[in-house]
């Protein structure tokens, strides 16, 4: 059984929450669980636990997925908030996930980074982020709408000769878009695989100093479209390309 560790999303104490109000919760969005689970593939939610226990657990994983969620804190990539009090992110989750990501990288484990995970991957490799695309890139298209959510879509430009182009060929590359932040300065040793067709925002990267696709990040949410990939790039082809790095 292949074991894929998935980093947790955190929900912090909230007295207004009727269940576990005073407690911190670690959770996995259900579309992600269904996307990662396959015959012979077990998704494992990685808890935020003491390091001596955490690293023992991480050592049992064959690969890692970093899921979406809250913004990264600007301080995590060496910046101050561009607007005081806005887009402050989650420094606790940042520290936890960077620890898990570093373990995966140092131990040459396959990594699939999605949305926030994609941004985390860039920051791990010393890149930076737009704290808010609409504010810092007013020329950009709208990349997130709270009401439309994952029904909102745009087209990608796949870089010829790179991994995504080899997977999807010349088909029209449409994906969902549910993010208000994005890559500003590209991290070291990351190669761009796709950009937003209309504004050039980076939408997919891979680590260039190892096998193609073993460390892969995408800005969209393939898991949201996995059950019904009509009109969008087939998320299952993308996941299968990742799985090839976990199968002996």
Question: In this predicted structure, what is the pLDDT of residue 57?
Answer: 97
Q: Is 79 a catalytic residue?
A: no
Answer whether residue 23 is part of any domain. yes
Q: What is the pLDDT of residues 70-111, one digit of tens each?
A: 999 999 999 999 999 999 999 999 999 999 999 999 999 999
Answer whether residue 8 is part of any domain. yes
Spatial distance between the Cα atoms of 66 and 103, rounded to a whole number of angstroms: 13
Computed over every residue of the chain, the mean pLDDT equals: 95
Within 10 Å of residue 163's Cβ, how many Cβ atoms?
Answer: 20
Q: Round the CA-based radius of gyration of the chain to a whole number and report it.
A: 17
Six-digit token string for 141? 């298209």
Q: How many domains does the chain have?
A: 1
Query: Does residue 147 surpass a pLDDT of 90?
Result: no
Answer whether residue 97 is part of any domain. yes
More confident residue, 214 or 152: 214
Please pick, among 143, 179, 180, 221, the residue that the annotation labels catalytic.
221
Q: What is the pLDDT of residues 202-229, one digit of tens each?
A: 999 999 999 999 999 999 999 999 888 7
3-state secondary structure the chain: CEEEEEECEEECCCCCCCCCCCCCEEECCHHHHHHHCECCEEEEEECCCCHHHHHHHHCCCCEEEECCCCCCCHHHHCCCCCCCCCCCCCHHHHHHHHHHHHHHHHCCCCEEEECHHHHHHHHHCCCCEECCHHHHCCCCCCCCCCCCHHHCEEEEEECCCCHHHHHHCCCCCEEECCCCCEECCCCCCEEEEEEECCCCCEEEEEECCCCCCCEEEECCCHHHHCCCCCCCCCHHHHHHHHHCCCCC
Q: Where do we find the tokens 């998704």?
A: 43
Q: Is 185 a catalytic residue?
A: no
Spatial distance between the Cα atoms of 184 and 41, rounded to a whole number of angstroms: 34
Q: Write phi, then psi, for 208 (nearest 5 degrees).
A: -90, -10
Answer whether residue 248 is part of any domain. no
Question: In this predicted structure, what is the pLDDT of residue 165?
Answer: 96
Answer whether residue 22 is part of any domain. yes
Answer whether residue 182 is part of any domain. yes
Which CATH number fits the domain that encloses residue 221? 3.40.50.880
Which residue segment(s) compose the domain that 83 sits in? 2-243
Confidence of residue 150 (pLDDT cuts 50, 70, 90): confident
Q: Is 9 a catalytic residue?
A: no
pTM confidence score:
0.95
Answer whether residue 69 is part of any domain. yes
Confidence of residue 248 (pLDDT cuts 50, 70, 90): low
Q: What is the pLDDT of residues 167-205, one digit of tens each?
A: 999 889 999 999 999 999 999 999 999 999 999 999 999
Answer whether residue 35 is part of any domain. yes
8 Å CB contact between 18 and 222: no
Please pick, among 9, 115, 179, 206, the residue that the annotation labels catalytic.
115
Spatial distance between the Cα atoms of 229 and 212, rounded to a whole number of angstroms: 24
Average pLDDT over residues 41-55: 97
Please pick, among 179, 180, 223, 245, the residue that the annotation labels catalytic.
223
Q: What is the pLDDT of residues 50-64, one digit of tens each?
A: 999 999 999 999 999
């Amino acid at each position: 059984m292949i074991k894929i560790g998935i980093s947790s999303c955190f929900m912090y104490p909230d007295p207004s929450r009727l269940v576990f109000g005073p407690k911190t919760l670690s959770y996995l969005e259900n579309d992600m669980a269904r996307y990662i689970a396959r015959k012979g593939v077990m998704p494992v939610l990685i808890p935020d636990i003491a390091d001596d226990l955490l690293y023992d657990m991480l050592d049992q994983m064959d690969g890692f997925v970093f899921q979406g969620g809250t913004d990264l804190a600007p301080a995590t990539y060496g910046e101050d908030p561009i607007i005081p009090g806005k887009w402050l992110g989650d420094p606790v989750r940042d520290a936890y996930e960077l620890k898990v990501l570093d373990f995966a990288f140092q131990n040459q484990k396959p990594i699939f980074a999605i949305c926030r995970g994609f941004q985390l991957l860039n920051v791990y490799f010393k890149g930076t982020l737009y704290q808010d695309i609409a504010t810092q890139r007013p020329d950009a298209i709208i990349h997130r709408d709270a009401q439309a959510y994952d029904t909102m879509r745009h087209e990608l430009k796949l870089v010829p000769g790179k991994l995504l182009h080899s997977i999807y060929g010349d088909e029209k590359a449409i994906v969902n878009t549910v993010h208000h932040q994005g890559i500003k300065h590209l991290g070291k040793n990351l190669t761009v695989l796709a950009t937003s067709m209309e504004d050039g925002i980076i939408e997919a990267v891979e680590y260039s100093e190892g096998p193609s696709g073993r460390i892969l990040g995408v800005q969209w949410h393939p898991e949201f479209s996995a059950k019904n990939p009509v009109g969008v790039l087939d998320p299952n082809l993308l996941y299968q390309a990742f799985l090839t790095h976990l199968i002996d």
